[in-house]
């Protein structure tokens, strides 16, 4: 059974998601009844994990398979409210961020503390390329999180000059 979980809640697809080759991911996805929506205890899906690690080809294949099955995986949050877009932004995975936005990921979806992917991109490092993609795709720049911080507050506080420059 391709959907059997181990003691940590991982399926073979979840395990392969970060580094699996296109061929390996395709092989697993072609198994009848493979479940892309399965979540580990933290709420992460195989798709979320592929986005976290920037496995663009795996993410692309999973999106196509989900569409074939007729369900959405693009904005499925983990237990903290982070979507695959949040995590790709945090990791500076620019190509994956582009893939998600091209496939209608919600650029302004908030996590449990009110942060959008733009907040995360500006707070987690000098991710100016990621921020440029979000700005180009019309992410709202002035949304405050639950503490009243905008993305500009967060990157200015951390001293990320290039990110501040993009937002101004």
pLDDT for residue 126:
85
Helices assigned H by DSSP within the chain: 12-16, 22-29, 46-52, 56-69, 84-90, 94-102, 117-123, 128-136, 151-158, 161-167
pLDDT for residue 151:
98
pLDDT for residue 112:
98
DSSP state of 134: H
Block residue for tokens 């392969």? 16
Taking the CB of residue 18, how many other CB atoms lie within 10 A of it?
Answer: 15
Please provide the DSSP assignment of 135-163 as one string.
Answer: HHTT--TT---TTS--HHHHHHHHT-HHH
- Tens of pLDDT along 52-89? 999 999 999 999 999 999 999 999 999 999 999 999 99
Q: Do residues 103 and 63 touch, judged by C-beta distance below 8 A?
A: yes
Q: What is the pTM of this model?
A: 0.95
* CA–CA gap between residue 98 and residue 94 (Å, rounded): 6
* CA–CA gap between residue 109 and residue 82 (Å, rounded): 9
Domains defined for the chain, CATH in brackets = 1-73 (1.25.40.20), 83-167 (1.25.40.20)
pLDDT for residue 125:
82
Residue-by-residue pLDDT tens, the chain, 168 positions: 999 999 999 999 999 999 989 999 999 999 999 999 999 999 999 999 999 999 999 999 999 999 999 999 999 999 999 999 999 999 999 999 999 999 999 999 999 999 999 999 999 888 999 999 999 998 999 999 999 999 999 999 999 999 999 999
* CA–CA gap between residue 49 and residue 129 (Å, rounded): 21
């Amino acid at each position: 059974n391709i959907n059997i979980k181990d003691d940590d809640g991982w399926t073979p697809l979840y395990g392969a998601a970060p580094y699996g080759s296109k061929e390996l991911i395709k092989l697993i996805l072609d198994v009848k009844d493979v479940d892309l929506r399965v979540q580990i205890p933290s709420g992460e899906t195989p798709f979320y994990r592929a986005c976290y690690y920037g496995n663009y080809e795996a993410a692309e294949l999973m999106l196509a398979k989900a569409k074939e099955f007729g369900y959405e995986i693009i904005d499925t949050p983990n237990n903290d409210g982070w979507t695959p877009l949040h995590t790709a932004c945090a990791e500076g995975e620019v190509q994956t961020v582009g893939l998600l936005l091209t496939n209608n990921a919600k650029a302004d979806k908030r996590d449990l503390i009110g942060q959008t992917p733009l907040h995360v991109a500006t707070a987690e490092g000098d991710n100016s390329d990621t921020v440029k993609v979000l700005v180009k795709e019309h992410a709202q720049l002035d949304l405050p999180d639950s503490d009243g911080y905008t993305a500009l507050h967060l990157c200015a506080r951390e001293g990320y000059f290039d990110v501040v420059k993009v937002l101004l």
